[in-house]
Amino acid sequence: MENSEVKTLQKNLQTAQDELARLERIKPLAGAAAAVVHDVRNSLGVIQSTAQFVLSKLRPSDKEKEAWELVERNVESIRNLLKGYLGLARQSESPKEESSLNEIVDRVTHFIDVQSKKNGVQVIKKLASPLPKILIEPSAVESAILNLSINGVEAMAGGGSLIFETQLNKQNKTVCLTVQDSGPGISKEARDNLFKPFFTTKAKGSGMGLYSAKAIVTQNGGKIYCESEPGRTRMILAFPHG
C-alpha cells in the first residue's frame, strides 16, 4: 500500500473520530446532530472503501489481512451506531420490522470478537429458541446493544466473561435480553445517574452512550434497566411481542 494512501486513510479516520466526538456532545441539538452524522458517514465510507480495496489485493496468508478485516468490521459497527444516533437526532421513529433478537445478538458478538479476545474476555451466548420476533428498528436496537457490550468489555480490563442471554417472559409477554459482565460492578450512586446525558464513570467517556441506548430502546417500545453488585453487572432489555 502506498504511503499516500496510508496518510489519506489516517486523515479520514481522524476526521471521523473528531466528528463522532463532536456528535456525542451536540446530539441534543437535533438538526446539527443530523448534519454531523451525514459528515461522519461520508468519512467512514472513504475508510471502508479503502479497507475493502486493500483486502482485495491481499492474499489469505498476508499478515496484514486480519488487521484490515478488523478495520472493516469496526467501520461497519460505527455505521450501525450512527444509524441509531441519526434516529435520535431526528426525534422520529424509524421504520420498524419484525426482527430476531437472537440474530441481532449474533451480529453484535461478531463485531466485538477481536476486542473481547484482546481484553481476555470470554463471550458466552445463551439464546432461547424458539424466540418470537419483535417489532423494532433493528439497526438502532443493534447499536444500543453494541454500546452496552462495548461498555461490558471495557469494564473487564483484566479479563472475565460477557454473557448474552435471551428469554421469553410469557407472563409479561416480553422478549428479554440480559448482557452480563463480570467487572467490578457499579455503585448505587452511579446507577441512579447511569442513563442521564453526559454522566460517565470513564475518564474519557462522553456520557452519551447509555443515554442513547435507553432512548433507542424506549423509542422501540422497550424498557432497559441495570442490576449491579461487586463482580457482576447486568443490563436488561425487555421488548413487547405479539
Across the range 80-84, mean pLDDT stands at 64
Which of 111, 233, 68 is CA-nearest to residue 162? 233
CB 221 within 8 A of CB 93: no
Q: Do 128 and 58 belong together in one domain?
A: no
- Which of 41, 72, 90 is the C-terminal boundary of a domain? 90
- Which of 40, 68, 90 is the C-terminal boundary of a domain? 90
Helix (H) or strand (E) holding 134: strand 134-136
Q: Do 45 and 148 belong together in one domain?
A: no
Cell readout for 81 is 451506531
Q: Do 197 and 116 belong together in one domain?
A: yes
CATH number at residue 160: 3.30.565.10
Across the range 134-140, mean pLDDT stands at 92
Cell readout for 134 is 419483535
Q: Do 129 and 186 belong together in one domain?
A: yes
Q: Do 189 and 227 belong together in one domain?
A: yes
pLDDT tens for 4-32 read 666 667 677 776 766 666 556 555 555 55
At residue 91, the pLDDT reads: 45
Q: Do 53 and 21 belong together in one domain?
A: yes
At residue 6, the pLDDT reads: 65
Q: Do 61 and 153 belong together in one domain?
A: no
Q: Do 219 and 143 belong together in one domain?
A: yes
Helix (H) or strand (E) holding 215: helix 209-219
User: Does the model's pTM come out above 0.95?
Assistant: no
Q: Which residues of 66-101 are buried (b: 16+ CB within 10 A; e: fewer)?
A: eebeebbbbbbbbbbbbbbbbbbbeeeebebeebbb
**Long-range residue pairs from 187-195, CB within 8 A, at least 24 positions apart, any chain:** 191/226, 191/228, 194/226, 195/224
Total domain count, the chain: 2
Banded pLDDT at 92 (limits 50, 70, 90): very low
More confident residue, 85 or 121: 121
